[in-house]
Structure 1
Amino acid sequence: MIDVPLVERVLHGLPGVHEAAVVVRETRRGPSAAAVVVPADAARPVDAGTVRAALRARLPGEDLPGRIEITTRLPDEDRDGCAPPHPALPAPAGPAHMAQTERTEENA
């Protein structure tokens, strides 16, 4: 089982991260997580690859998100009409705040 509070705590502790959220959904392969990250400085956004590398160094493999999105704000179901994206599904064709995506080979 993916430890969402642990993953969010690690994300919030990374340099350059202002906000972060993790969503876990059940897939045919088992639980899968997506992480949404808002940089602290929009002029110098964090890179999804850098976030992934930092998570790999701090989390057990089963807790690593399958997808990492770098955005200007966290998605809000009421405001945007969508929840954070799911790693096994395509990202919603909604607001342009879903700027950068990285998938693992497993989920690609």
Structure 2
Amino acid sequence: MDHKPATVGHVLVIPRMHMAGLADADDAVGTAIWRTARQVSAALRASGLPCEGVRLSLTDGEAAGQDVFHLHLHVVPRYPGDGVVVTADWKRRSRELLDQDAALIREALA
């Protein structure tokens, strides 16, 4: 359980082995984190706690807002009026720039 929950029932999924960020996790750890988050999400909906939706959140790196440098995934129950607000300055990018960005990512994946 998160000790400063965004909503009632806010759960953290944390691997037992220390790793600072997502890139440090192998496929088995990544699969286990996702499987556990899926199971917790289903349990939240069945629990009787106020939960009409679920938000998953993982911050990786200081620039992303990570302040505890051990990989963890937030599973946050959501319901109308819960007060949780996610804001960003969403910017449009041209198709040409998106294609350039995608090419760089594809190259890094290869």
TM-score normalized by structure 2? 0.31
Q: TM-score, normalised by structure 1?
A: 0.32
Structure showing greater radius of gyration is 2
More relative contact order in 1 or in 2 (CA 8 Å, sep 6+)? 2
